[in-house]
Amino acid sequence: QVHLQESGPGLVKPSETLSLTCTVSGYSISGGYYWGWIRQPPGKGLEWIGSISHSGTTYYNPSLKSRVTISLDTSKKQFSLKLSSVTAADTAVYYCARASPTDWFDSWGQGTLVTVSS
Amino acid sequence: AIQLTQSPSSLSASVGDRVTITCRASQGISSALAWHQQKPGKGPNLLIYDASSLQSGVPSRFSGSGSGTDFTLTISSLQPEDFATYYCQQFNSYPLTFGPGTKVDIK
């Protein structure tokens, strides 16, 4: 059974870059699935940030595209998120998830809270 | 971007009740809809994909229906562990989007 675990700093200063990593176990990250990042501001709903295919093709939410980079490291069984120029509006629980090739998310990490504050 | 609306935004129900949640898309999405359940402090859990396909391991009291713009999630007999927030998600086109959620709590 696939397991995903987010890791990274829980506090980021405004204007800096948020960096998170998702470690995948129980499934080959090079398999046919996609890998995504979704976030949830406190008390609010879910927002898709972007996804990366097993071959490295990326898909980003246009609302965040200018600030987002998602990458894949198959040797470490990880994929990563970088979000630049963060503000308080980027404070959220960040989830990594596995997506089918048609993009429904079938396995989720437990999430990690990232707070943007000086 | 395709917008999803859900109704109701919240509901109160009793154990054993039949519960129906509706999700409406701003344009046709065929059957490209999933339903996720989220409990407080946890990551979401996939219940239904392709509008009506039950994810492996999910109890059969959960069912989904619909196509085009109108979809429903039905819980045939609500159990104590079903009190949670439910989100629909469209995967017809990028950007992927989620509905605002429906919170189901105890009456």
Question: Which chain B residues are Cβ-neighbours of A107 within 8 angstroms?
Answer: 46
The answer to whether residues A25 and A3 touch, using CB atoms and an 8 Å cutoff, is: yes
Using beta carbons and an 8 Å cutoff, which residues of B are at the interface with A?
1, 32, 34, 36, 42-46, 49-50, 55, 87, 89, 91, 94-101
State percent of chain B over pLDDT 70. 100
How far from chain centre, in Å, is Cα A48?
A: 9
pLDDT in tens, B32-49: 999 999 999 999 999 999
* Closest Cα in chain A to B102: A45
Strand, coil or helix: what is A52?
strand
Nearest CA to A95 out of A25, A18, A23, A36 is that of: A36
Rounded to 5°, the CA angle B77-B35-A78 comes to 130
B99 CB neighbours in chain A (<8 A) are 45
Task: Kindly give the confidence (pLDDT) of every residue in chain A, 118 residues in length, as a single tens digit, with 9 standing for 90 and above.
Answer: 999 999 999 999 999 999 999 999 999 998 889 999 999 999 999 999 999 999 899 999 999 999 999 999 999 999 999 999 999 999 999 999 999 988 899 999 999 999 999 9
Chain segment A15-37, per-residue pLDDT in tens:
999 999 999 999 999 888 999 99
| Residue A1: both structure tokens together | 């059974």
Nearest-by-Cβ selection for A45 from B42, B45, B98 = B98
Which three-class secondary structure state does DSSP give residue A32? coil
Query: What average pLDDT is seen over chain B?
Result: 97
Q: Are the Cβ atoms of A59 and B43 closer than 8 angstroms?
A: no
Q: According to the model, what pLDDT value does residue B68 have?
A: 98
